[in-house]
Amino acid sequence: MRYRLLSALIASAVVAVDAAPAASYDYIVVGSGPGGGPLACDLARAGYSTLLIEAGGDEGDNPTYAELATFNEAANDEATRWDFWVKHSDDPARELQFQHMTWDTGDGTFYIGLDPPPGAKQLGIQYPRAAVLGGCAMHNGAVCTLPQDDDWNVIVNATGDTSWEADKMRRYLKKIEKNDYLPAGNADHGYNGWLSTSRGDVSWAKNNSLAGTRILRKMAELTGQNPEDVGVLMDTDILGAYKNKDEISSFYNMVQHADRQGKRSSPNNYVRATLADPKKYPLTLQLHTLVTKVLFSNESTPRAIGVEVMQGASLYKADPKHIPGTKAPLTQILANKEVIVSGGAFNSPQILKLSGIGPAAELQKFNIPVVKDLPGVGEQLSDNYEGSILALGQIPADSGLITLQFRTPSAPTKKRNIFTWCGAFSFEGFWPGFPADYGPNQYTCAMVHISPKSQAGSVRLVSADPQDVPDINFRFFEHRGDEDLKEIVEGANLLREAWQAAGEPVLPFNELHPCHGTNPLADGKCSDAVQAQSFKTQAYSHHAASTCAIGGDNDKMAVLDSKFRVRGVKGLRVVDASSFPVVPGAFPVLPTMMISAKAAEDIIADATKKSG
């Protein structure tokens, strides 16, 4: 397959608010995504002068981003897209089995597939990120879920900080949420926050004549739910506080960070509201600014005192609009109190390393002076494994969206391990121009494997040039991979069995992957081993985490303490998905916004203590 390489000359459709910065600010926040954007607003609303730096522009008024229904177009849009070309393993032969491997043909097009034209340059597996005010919350599917309780409690166990206990973390959901789907007063939710949450109409599930409802009822039977109750079960609150919630296999009504009209709600809205508030909070936003490193004082324990930046659009080489050779002058901006890095799981470790914080041998390789030897920076990269089963019915399968979390037989604990959403769509991962459209008869169950057992990935420098993109290798299934693959295959088998309830004239489904044909189990071509190999080579992901992880004092790989402070230096924190020691549940965007609120409290408490 070929897709057009978007022109490097197209200008981003933004209205920048690039104000000349003051000499210094109390706080500098690097990155406006789910971690940094809300944090900067909270600090400014507490009265502290705060500079929020974003490498991209502002697309808040662009319908492609504002309308949640066009999220696929947003993720493909070069106005904000940064293309990270990643690896899934250290095995080049295995990499070349990935069906959506992407190549630069040299003639202005991408080739996606396994048989590139002569002379094509292998780029890798596309992992798009968003350089825009609001970060990846501006191009994602806006799915809101909570981590498993153990994902919070792992921090308690490692650090002894009981403020991270799962039952205490819910208050940050309530603090940021503006719930639009339940009557006011529900004790599990918030109604006065900045983040709108809504959910869709699932009344279709009460229509037993639909193929989708027949599939739904079979899924209920296979996961221990009452098929007669599916109409009610489908409206279960996915953010509810249930006893032993992580052990419940259940349908849910998918919640999204959007309002009732389908308008995306994100840090973009909160930043804009803070800037426009008549109280004139001391927030300054600086767009189209690439942070090249953090500046430190020359003390026995170095203190972060500011950042060095380049100003200009498309300076980072992951930007498809970047023009080779483009540079910009370096300038410095000072912080009176702290610098907070919120660049995400790829860029936060890169910024720390460029600043002299990271594995000493790696920094010395590129002649970067070592400020603090922290071997965990850029290591322990983790992500959920994702895969899908996709088939074509004989006619369209009338169905709304089915959202289900369930436990497979080989899960290592009583906790559920698969999050799936099913319906008449296709989703097979990410590549330029995704997703493929197989027509009205397509039907997919996309799966997220929760709690992956391997954290062997890395984000490593290729040079000391801040415009270069780091080398990113997830090393999928490196540790205990056979266990994870078995769980994924069990999930696929359950979902495939449920599909057979669709009945004629939808049946037989012609499966496209991971197996092939109208009866793949019966003809012996869809063994568990065949499926496991397919998922191993075709798994994809978009929930990167843990490259600047919180950990205990005795953990040599710990980068942060429980208050997000970078170990061994002062005045520097990291607040984003890279902070999590493990991937937080099935989708990390809501948990990242929650820890942003927690970090704001921690930072303000420290500032108050020091001034008191």
Rounded Cα gap, residues 598 and 449, in angstroms: 27
Rounded Cα gap, residues 91 and 173, in angstroms: 41
Q: Is 574 annotated as a binding residue?
A: no
CA-closest candidate to residue 79, choices 346, 324, 343, 319: 319
Q: Is 143 annotated as a binding residue?
A: yes
State the residue for tokens 């981590």: 147
Asked if 389 and 511 count as a contact pair (C-beta separation under 8 A), the reply is yes
Token pair belonging to 430 = 């990410």
Q: Is 307 annotated as a binding residue?
A: no
Q: Is 141 annotated as a binding residue?
A: yes
369 CB-contact burial (10 Å; exposed 0-12 / middle 13-18 / buried 19+): exposed
Asked if 126 and 432 count as a contact pair (C-beta separation under 8 A), the reply is yes
Helix (H/G/I), strand (E/B), else coil: 262: coil
Asked if 111 and 1 count as a contact pair (C-beta separation under 8 A), the reply is yes
Neighbours of 446 (CB within 10 A): 21
Give the 3-state secondary structure percentages of the chain, helix then strand then coil, rounded to 5. Answer: 25, 25, 50
Q: Is 529 annotated as a binding residue?
A: no
Token pair belonging to 401 = 């969206």
CA-closest candidate to residue 282, choices 453, 554, 602, 45: 45
Q: Helices 481-499 and 528-538 sit at what angle, rounded to 10 degrees?
A: 110
Q: Can you spell out the DSSP letters for 309-333?
A: EEESTT-STTSTTPPTT----EEEE
What is the β-pairing status of strands 304-311 and 330-341?
A: antiparallel
Rounded Cα gap, residues 131 and 54, in angstroms: 7
Residue 519 DSSP code: S
Q: Which residues, listed in sequence order, are joined to residue 334 by a DSSP beta bridge? A: 24, 306
Token pair belonging to 250 = 């259940």
Query: Which distant-in-sequence residues (6+ apart) come within 8 Å of 485 by Cβ?
Result: 477, 532, 535, 536
Q: Is 140 annotated as a binding residue?
A: yes
Token pair belonging to 42 = 């909270």
State the sign of the Cα–Cα–Cα–Cα dihedral 315, 318, 322, 325. Answer: positive
Helix (H/G/I), strand (E/B), else coil: 593: helix
Asked if 518 and 511 count as a contact pair (C-beta separation under 8 A), the reply is yes
Token pair belonging to 50 = 């705060």
- Cα torsion for 124, 35, 551, 297, to the nearest 10°? 100
Rounded Cα gap, residues 378 and 595, in angstroms: 20
Rounded Cα gap, residues 194 and 175, in angstroms: 9
Instruction: Give strand ranges (E) for 487-588.
Output: 510-513, 572-574
Could you list the residues known to form a binding site for FAD, using ranges.
132, 140-143, 291
Could you list the residues known to form a binding site, using ranges.
132, 140-143, 291
